[in-house]
Amino acid sequence: MECLNHPGTEATDICLECSQPVCSQCSVLLSDKNYCKTCLEKKVSRPAITYGQKRKFLAFILSLVPGAGYFYLGLMKRGLQAMVLFFGSIFLGGMANLSFLPAFVVPVMIFYSVFDTQQLLSRMNAGELVEDRELFDWGNWESKRSLIGAALIILGLLALLNNLAPYFINYHLIGKIAPPIIIVGIGVYILYRNTGKGGGGNGNTVSSQD
């Protein structure tokens, strides 16, 4: 990974402010945190931030609905993304009959929203600048297209299986036997990989002795 400001120079740190790779010449250590010189100059030149005291209890109540707590803090981008993910998982789970999707996403989003909102609120009340950053950096989505595509394919296949299987086979039976089969399959795969590596090592040792 190369430095943002010096192409060809290996980066040694990641700026906490802009999340860009920087080399030792561009990195400044401040309170055990790494900043690039550009971001540090901006932080020093900024006037004091006054958000007004936000109420922790009200922020807590609103954060129980992911996105609403961020809106209360004035973080519109973060709040919109959290709310779309929260209600989108519920809508998609109901539309595609994937009950496990909201069952997994909803509690994770609620817990994350509550703790993250309280942390950001404490920073704001202390006078620290809090940028309205999105939950996910979509600027690098192109590098993760294969992962996103695989996730969409898996969700689509699960939705098809969940909706079509009852017409052909005993769906409830599949729900009972599928998890053990998957666990056994994963275990066999792990043993196969480990045995293959171990067997290769033993074979090389015997050959060298001959």
31: left (phi over 0), alpha (psi -120 to 50) or beta: left
pLDDT in tens, 87-130: 988 887 777 677 777 888 889 999 999 999 999 998 888 878 78
Helix and strand totals (H; E) in the chain: 7, 4
- Judge whether residue 54 has pLDDT over 90: no
Is the pTM higher than 0.75?
no
